[in-house]
Amino acid sequence: MKNKASIKSSELVDIFQARLGWNKARVKFFVSFIITLCKVQTVCFNKLAQGFEGKAKVESNTRRI
């Protein structure tokens, strides 16, 4: 079952993908990055990596950033 945040996230992915024409993985990262910036209100990459939702390790998210 999806929560409200994941539903909104998937809606944003659909919107950005339609507008930008990027592949889905890149758009998902972009949306996660924007949402995380809003949550943590900082640009410290380690804190941003911790804010990402999902199963990936913090180190993997830092590398993605």
Give exposure, 26-42, as e/b (b: 16+ Cβ within 10 Å): ebbbbbbbebbeeeeee
With contact defined as beta carbons under 8 Å apart, do 49 and 62 qualify? yes
What does the pLDDT profile of the chain (65 residues) look like in tens digits?
A: 555 556 668 899 999 999 999 999 999 989 988 888 888 777 788 888 888 878 889 999 899 88
> What does the pLDDT read at residue 7?
65
Segments forming the whole domain that contains residue 34: 4-64
- Into how many domains does the chain fold? 1
